[in-house]
Structure 1
Amino acid sequence: MIFNLINSILSLVIIHSNLCDGSVAETKLFTDLLKGYNPLERPVQNSSQPLEVKIKLFLQQILDVDEKNQIVSVNAWLSYTWFDHKLQWEPKKYGGIQDIRFPGSSDHIWKPDVLLYNSAAEDFDSTFKSNLLTYHTGTVVWIPPGVLKFVCQLDVTWFPFDDQVCEMKFGSWTFHGYAIDLQIDDDTNGTQSMDLSTYLVNGEWQVISTNAKRVVSYYKCCPEPYPTVNYYLHIRRRTLYYGFNLIIPSLLISLMAILGFMFPPDAGEKITLEVTILLAIVFFLSMVSEMTPPTSEAVPLIGVFFSCCMLVVSASVVFTIVVLNLHFRSADSHEMNPLVRRVLLEFLPWLLFMSRPGYKFVKANVIDSTDKMPKKPKNPLDCNLPSNHAGYEAQILLLHSVHTELRRVVAFYNKEEHDERIQTDWRFAAMVVDRACLLLFTVFIVISILAIMMSAPHIIA
């Protein structure tokens, strides 16, 4: 028991002495490194030489794309790497310490003043001041994470089939190119782009490319170069949501407006159907106006699509009223002039391959197969009847009165037949207008949809 107790006490003493040695070594290392160190001085051996600072961006997530305010928000990490010759040591002299960390919130060592030029954050630099990792070789790595909000020119012309290319411009705020040589930290395979190894997929936007480019600018005020590293975020909007919730329903509603021309006017619900469809299109258009930003620079593609749909439905309401007006015309109120008869009863039926019972259309002319002129009846009073007999004279007077009444009855029925034929002509003219509108609106909608879809940069994303 005594022997085991002695061993435990010795072990605790040895461990405590090692911890004390490690703490002392680290304290001594910090003291030696910061002795005579000036954080305002660029860490270069020759002040005429620029300090190379490598930058890399790790994209984590696309948080928001605000088309109205032209601002994009992303969650990202920034990695800065440079060499500080004053922060080198031999690990074996300091208890084998390979690396140490300096707090980023304090000014113990020099840090580059690289900022996002097109930042839209309230405090401009929205990164978290993380620790600076320093290796015994003198290499300093600083990886501050943060939510980057930057200005981007967003073009909604092809909404919702749009692509957006946003630029993030990083550069030193006060140093020129002869003081800080800002470079892109390449990947292991040599490509210059953002690191997407930890990227979280966004439900609305698809990342197409994240290229990086080093740009050196010269200004009239200063002869020195000013290098910047520009990251280009190319994103594409996913159209599945808009397709199933806006485009397909509006397309079906437009097709219903076309089918409304096949609805018989006698049903009495033709105009009600067209007005209901128009209200549905207006409702969808109000939804689109809420989704798209209020801008006058460009009209969104989906807005053009809904405008075409509303134009078709509005025109269908107008032509439905015209069809109903033609269908319920009668001989007592309207008379068909020769031009209307020629167009609506002869030319258009022949052009639209329509058929009418009792009529035949040949080369834009109509032949009435039922119009057979009846023979003029012989007047029975024209016969040479004896007139000197009283009985014959009474019969002739009786027959004359009967003949007069029969002529009135025949004239009445002839007028009824004439009026019915005129009304039938008006109804057939309404059918012709319905058929013409059906074909014209179908062709217009098909061409409009194809033109809009073919002009879009992409359909499915």
Structure 2
Amino acid sequence: MFVDVLLVCLIFRILNVTVCQDIDTYEKLYNDLFNNQYNPDLKPVSNVTMTITIAFFNLGLNHFDEVDGILSVSGGLEISWFDNSLKWNPKDYNGISEMLVSKSVIWFPHLTLMTDAQQLQPFGANSLFKILIRHDGFIYWTPADIINSKCAANIRKFPYDEQECSILFMAWDITWKTHLQAASVPYIDYYENKHPDWNTKGVISRQGKIFGNTSHEFVFKIKREPLYYNILVFLPVSLLSLLNPLVFLLPHECGERLGYGITILLSFVIFLTLASDKIPATSNPISFLIVFIIMVFVASAVITFLNIINAYLFYKSDYELKGFFKDMYVIFKKRRKNQVIPEEKCKINYKDIAIGLDRFCFVLSYIAMLTFITVYFIVLQY
């Protein structure tokens, strides 16, 4: 029993000595690297071009506000660069090959998110993520944050639209003799949960310049899931547009024709308001869905107008139609050439005209509504 206790005490003693030695070694390495000669405000190289490598890692698409034009993404950058003054031999420090330090004691590149929707400031300026220094002088920093980037939405094919949103970074205060390049794997996707309304189709990494300054952007391609808007907007509008012409089949005596038409007309206004609340208030480009709803709304207004005219003619049945209009009606009512029509059937009143117009308007309005729906699907393919 005494031997066991002695063995345990010996093990703890060895571990304690090892930990203390490691702490002392880290402290010695830290003091050797960041002595009085190192200045975190000075760029590591001044007379040669410095290469800064970046890669973007995506933690999830939070939200895309097409009305305000803001893409919200949780993610960050893996930034790496070389500092010759921060190299050491691991053999001299008990095999320590890397260490973490606060960004307040070391120089780091100030990369600005140029598409920031709030304010321009160095990315990760307020982050507490430490910086990793390797013994060979390569330094790695991975600041992460919620990125709110400006993105003008193209809602022409809403809700079947695809958006391209750029997240643009630029070395704001170290522009000269600085080369900003993408890593061998410029984009890393770390998240598994998909956004319920948007699917990320891919991310393109490309390099460029802004006013001669080096920059790098990551272009997100996202596609909307249209099922919600198909069920909530397009399907009801299409069904109402096909029900609207049926007003001409209702008998005038029921007295509900006008109320039926006006109810459908007002329903289009409700769906137009519902769709317009989801898209930006812009004239260029305008959504095909909005154009479609406006067209069926105008057609519904014309149907309501013709319904009122037909009702007026129907209840003016005591007046006999004469002259040119009577001759035209008789011509259209003929089934065969040289057909003999009894004289009593040649007496035409406005009620007969209203019944004939109902049939004509029913066919014409149905053709118009089907045409609008067909054209809408055709233009979505281009």
Question: Structure 1-normalised TM-score?
Answer: 0.76
1:126 Cα offset (Å): 6.0
1:42, 1:51 within 8 Å by CA — same for their partners in 2? no
Within a 5 Å distance, the mapping from 1:122-137 to structure 2 comes to 122=119, 124-125=121-122, 127=124, 128-137=127-136
Aligned partner of 1:110 in structure 2 is 107
Describe the SS at the equivalent of 1:27.
helix
Aligned partner of 1:164 in structure 2 is 163
Within a 5 Å distance, the mapping from 1:30-429 to structure 2 comes to 30-35=30-35, 36-44=37-45, 47-104=46-103, 106=104, 108-122=105-119, 124-125=121-122, 127=124, 128-178=127-177, 180-187=178-185, 194-198=187-191, 200-217=193-210, 219=211, 225-331=212-318, 334-347=319-332, 349=333, 360-362=334-336, 367-368=340-341, 370-371=342-343, 422=347, 425-429=349-353
Q: Quick one: structure 1 residues 429 and 339, their matched pair in 2 at CA, closer, same or farther if it must change by over 3 Å? A: same
Distance 1:175 1:40 in 2: 12
Distance 2:381 2:128 in 1: 41
Describe the SS at the equivalent of 1:330.
coil
1:250, 1:284 within 8 Å by CA — same for their partners in 2? yes
2:112, 2:123 within 8 Å by CA — same for their partners in 1? no
Q: Quick one: structure 1 residues 330 and 315, their matched pair in 2 at CA, closer, same or farther if it must change by over 3 Å? A: same
1:288 Cα offset (Å): 2.0
1:248 Cα offset (Å): 0.3
Q: Quick one: structure 1 residues 175 and 345, their matched pair in 2 at CA, closer, same or farther if it must change by over 3 Å? A: farther
Aligned partner of 1:380 in structure 2 is none
Q: Quick one: structure 1 residues 148 and 29, their matched pair in 2 at CA, closer, same or farther if it must change by over 3 Å? A: same
Could you tell which deviates more after superposition, 3-12 or 238-247? 3-12
Pairing 1:21–2:28 present: no
1:446 Cα offset (Å): 1.8
How large is the RMSD of aligned CA atoms in angstroms?
2.3
Distance 2:277 2:156 in 1: 16
1:216 Cα offset (Å): 3.2
Distance 1:138 1:238 in 2: 47
Q: Quick one: structure 1 residues 77 and 161, their matched pair in 2 at CA, closer, same or farther if it must change by over 3 Å? A: same
User: For structure 2, which runs of at least 5 residues remain unmatched after alignment?
Assistant: none
Which one has the largest radius of gyration?
A: 1
Distance 2:4 2:222 in 1: 68
1:160, 1:301 within 8 Å by CA — same for their partners in 2? no
Describe the SS at the equivalent of 2:188.
coil
Aligned partner of 1:436 in structure 2 is 360
1:123 Cα offset (Å): 6.5
Describe the SS at the equivalent of 2:189.
coil
Pairing 1:451–2:336 present: no
Distance 1:112 1:255 in 2: 62
1:293 Cα offset (Å): 2.8
1:60, 1:75 within 8 Å by CA — same for their partners in 2? yes
Describe the SS at the equivalent of 1:212.
strand
1:344, 1:432 within 8 Å by CA — same for their partners in 2? no
1:457 Cα offset (Å): 5.0
Report how many residues are paired.
Answer: 379
Describe the SS at the equivalent of 2:81.
strand
Q: Which amino acid aligns with 1:248?
A: L
Distance 1:147 1:260 in 2: 54
Distance 1:85 1:457 in 2: 56
- Alpha-carbon displacement from aligned partner over 1:373-399 (angstroms, at most 9, x marks no partner): xxxxxxxxxxxxxxxxxxxxxxxxxxx
Describe the SS at the equivalent of 1:291.
coil
Q: Which amino acid aligns with 1:109?
A: I
User: For structure 1, which runs of at least 5 residues remain unmatched after alignment?
Assistant: 220-224, 350-359, 372-417
1:68 Cα offset (Å): 3.0
Could you tell which deviates more after superposition, 119-128 or 91-100? 119-128
Distance 1:283 1:367 in 2: 53
Distance 2:155 2:121 in 1: 27
Q: Quick one: structure 1 residues 434 and 345, their matched pair in 2 at CA, closer, same or farther if it must change by over 3 Å? A: farther
Q: Which amino acid aligns with 2:164?
A: V
Q: Higher strand share goes to which structure?
A: 2
Describe the SS at the equivalent of 2:321.
coil
Distance 1:247 1:367 in 2: 51
Q: Quick one: structure 1 residues 181 and 426, their matched pair in 2 at CA, closer, same or farther if it must change by over 3 Å? A: same
1:52, 1:181 within 8 Å by CA — same for their partners in 2? yes
Distance 2:201 2:322 in 1: 65
Describe the SS at the equivalent of 1:362.
coil
Percent of aligned pairs sharing the same letter: 25
Q: Which amino acid aligns with 1:55?
A: I
Describe the SS at the equivalent of 2:208.
strand
Describe the SS at the equivalent of 1:433.
helix
Describe the SS at the equivalent of 2:155.
coil
